[in-house]
Structure 1
Amino acid sequence: MPPPNRIGTTNCSDFVDLEDKHKFNKVAEDLELYTWGSYYPTYIGDILANRYCIDYKLGHSGFSVVWMAYNMHSKRDIALKIMVLGDSGERECYMQDEIKNSVSDTSCLLVYQDTFLITGSCGHLNSANVMMILLSIQQKPGELVMPIALRKELVMQRGQLPAIYCASERVHGVDLSFISDMWSYMCLFVELYGDSCDLEWYNQHQKPSPHLGLEDKILRLRPDINTTELRLILDILRWGFLYLPEHRLTAVQLLDSVLFKDLMAIYRL
């Protein structure tokens, strides 16, 4: 039940017996996350942003809780997603901002209609009213401060891509770079575009077939595309999969490329 000082006036919830509690715990969010301040405590009947009246809960994930709410201004029911506190919750908003700023027609995409901030129980804390304590310089006279040297067992190993996505130069021990990331991106691009990533060049015991070129492989993966789309995808792949990294396209060149823009336009992206 919501406390009496809450804004909401309607409550359609019910109590759960202790013997049935375990049935709901399996499908409910972790209540400890409310205690830690990750989830925002929301009650049925609450009114958020002076507009949205909470009706009932639709579901949850690790980074949000989704409620059915009534927009008192537009007189419509809407889905209201309340994100968790911190970067994890804000990441989806950042991604949707990029989509709305980059895509001219979002009619076929599911993006937010409105966003707003809500203040939690610790919303009054900011850098202006947090007092820091500085230790006295005389606390440990004679102590020398030197750069820390981490033991090798404390240094985390750098993450490594699966071998099938590694650029050709990585096979020869060349360090990671932005240009090698572009090779990995092109592998993912092919896998998403054709539902498969043909990586026969990694097989040292297999000879390339002179009768099966890149064009034939694309048509085998995507027999539904027309001549214009085939020309665009071939030019992009030939540019992205150049063996020498200094000749390979960069991320900026790809985004500015007329080829890539024309291909995205076919799919209204």
Structure 2
Amino acid sequence: MVEIPDILTLPDDTEDFGDFVKNEDEEIDVEEMAEPWYYYDKEKTPKAFYPIRLGEVLNDRYLIEHKLGFGGGSTVWMAHDLRDKKDVAIKVMSLGEWGDNEVWIQDQIIQNVQDTSHIVTYLDTFLLPGNNSHHTVLVYPLMGPCLDLYKLKDKSMTTRMSAARQLLEALESLHKAGIVHRDLNERNCMWGMVPLHDHHRSAKYEALGRPLRQIIPFVDLWKQGELVHPVKVPENLRTEEFYLGDFGLAKKLDDPTSTTQRGWPSMQYCSPDRLHGKDPSFACDMWSYMVIFSVLYMRAPPFSAFFEGGIISGMVKGLGPLPEQWKGLYTHPGGLDSWYDQSETPDPDQGLASRIARFGADADPIEQQHVHSIMSRVFTYCPEERLTATQLLRDPSFRAIMDNYGC
């Protein structure tokens, strides 16, 4: 259990922003967890990141105190709002239109989604002037850790199924407003976190880990920036609330002005129709959701990726061949003709029922049947046949599973 020191016993720490690396081992630790240095090099990428250092104040308001993480199009920082006296997450977008799209779709969510209680929407947005350019910044409530398969072993089934229900409710609210997420994966799903804004920075560092940082190497930058090892949120600071965030690829399906950014979820979470050039749809989100449900319920993915051809081969072994008319439409390299061979049959050892029995062995046979029922009606190749978020929330098998765990 991590103890947070009493605020009254802490010294003034206005100049303490962690430690610079002192040796090669610490440099390796930072490099393994931070974004690659070349993400900041405009000569290597047109979507260069904005260099940031701990201790600087953005927009005359947000004091950067720690690093939360990074993605393909942004870095995310923990900051203290000097005006409202609370901690926030600062998402600094790379160059390009990604930031504009995320602000636009966030506005659509705020205006049109009736229930945003489990959806992470921005509190503020502004532009940071760069080197002959600008970067969009979005300010969010500070959230807890993202979903992590390897950290689920110590979480109760009640906690995991509560997260599954809250995520599905968030997705239903999004879909009712005509918005498809398009990038539902474990990094965009997160728990809440106990607020630390009433504590000195040294107490936050004791709870979350002192920042380990180094000056961004090898790039001649126009301002100083740092690579920083991200926070580690301890279990005692995690709350039971579960949220959906990161709408950089989201799209409002019935709005012709909605920008369609190129991109897919990671292969493990992407529906096979998307990987064959089909348009984004609510059904694609539902496939991705059911993968997350599987991770939460079984603490294992529904399909193995350890075959020639990767995750698609795992799907085919579990569900049978892909539709024959999809042959030649696969959007990624490495497709196999055998995926579309209609004479092939599923491998019983890789089927949904077998994986549920193997990884959900603690459940009784009736519960396993309920889990198989909902998985098999979402993991279907035809998007039109998949259960919607509303249908799944009302499904007797889904309700029975939730009732078993008081969710």
TM-score calculated relative to the size of structure 1: 0.46
Flag the structure with more relative contact order, 1 or 2, with Cα contacts below 8 A and sequence separation at least 6: 2
Point out the structure with the larger strand share: 2
Instruction: Say which one has the larger Rg.
Output: 1
